[in-house]
Structure 1
Amino acid sequence: MTLYFSMVFGLLVTEMVIFGALIVPLPFTFRRKVFNFISESEIIAKLQYGLRITFIFILILFIDSVNRVYRVQVELSALYKDTTGAGRAAALGSDRAEIQARKFYSQRNMYLTGFTLFLSLILNRTYVLTLENLRLQEKIRLHEGDPTAGGKEGLKLSGEYRGETIGQLKNDLVKKDKELAALKKQSEGLRREYNELSDKYVQLNPGSAGDKKSN
Structure 2
Amino acid sequence: MSIYYKMVFGILVAEVSFFSVLALPLPSKIRKPLVSVLVRPFLNDIIQVAIKCMLGFVLLLFVDSINRVYSVEQELDAINPAGGYSSSRMEVLSRKFFAQRNMYLTGITLFLTFVVVRTFNLVRELLELKDHYHLASPDYDTSAEEKRNVELKKELQSKIAERDAEIERLKEKAKALQKEI
With structure 2 as the length reference, what TM-score do the two structures score?
0.70
Equivalence for 2:118: 125
1:8–1:58 CA contact under 8 A, matched in 2:
yes
Cα gap change, 1:104 to 1:80, in 2 (>3 Å): same
How far does residue 25 in structure 1 lie from its aligned partner after superposition?
1.4
Provide, for residues 149-194 of structure 1, a one-character-per-residue CA deviation record: whole Å limited to 9, x for no partner. Answer: x9xxxxxxxxxxxxxxxxxxxxxxxxxxxxxxxxxxxxxxxxxxxx
- State the 1:101 CA deviation: 0.7
Q: What does residue 27 of structure 1 align with? A: 27
Which residue of structure 2 lines up, in the alignment, with residue 191 of structure 1? none
Q: Deviations over 1:23-54 (max 9, x none)?
A: 10122122222333344x35752434312210
Question: 2:141 and 2:66 mapped to 1: Cα distance?
Answer: 54
One-letter amino acid of the structure 1 residue matched with residue 19 of structure 2: F
1:164 is matched with none
- 2:92 corresponds to: 99
Question: Which residue of structure 2 aligns with residue 80 of structure 1?
Answer: 80
Q: How many residues get paired?
A: 140
Counterpart residue type for residue 9 of structure 2:
F
**2-side partners of 1:60 and 1:132: how far apart?**
32
- Using CA pairs below 8 Å that are at least 6 residues apart, which structure has the higher relative contact order? 2
| Alignment match, 2:101 | 108
Name the counterpart of 1:138.
131
2: CA distance, partners of 1:30 / 1:44: 21
**In 2, are the aligned partners of 1:55 and 1:117 still within 8 Å (CA)?**
yes
Counterpart of 2:121 in structure 1: which amino acid?
V
Structure 2: gaps (5+ residues)? 146-181
Q: What is the distance in 2 between the residues matched to 1:131 and 1:111?
A: 30
Aligned match of 1:60: 60
Trace 1:1-215 onto structure 2 (pairs within 5 A): 1-39=1-39, 41=40, 45=44, 46-80=46-80, 88-89=82-83, 92-144=85-137, 145=140
Give percent identity, aligned residues only.
Answer: 40
1:93 shift after superposition? 1.2
Q: Which runs of 5+ in 1 are unaligned?
A: 82-87, 151-215
In the alignment, the residues of structure 2 paired with residue 28 and residue 92 of structure 1 have an alpha-carbon distance, to the nearest angstrom, of 59
TM-score scaled to structure 1, two decimals?
0.60
Question: Whole-Å Cα distance in 1 between the matches of residues 125 and 24 of structure 2?
Answer: 16
**Structure 1 counterpart SS, 2:80:** helix
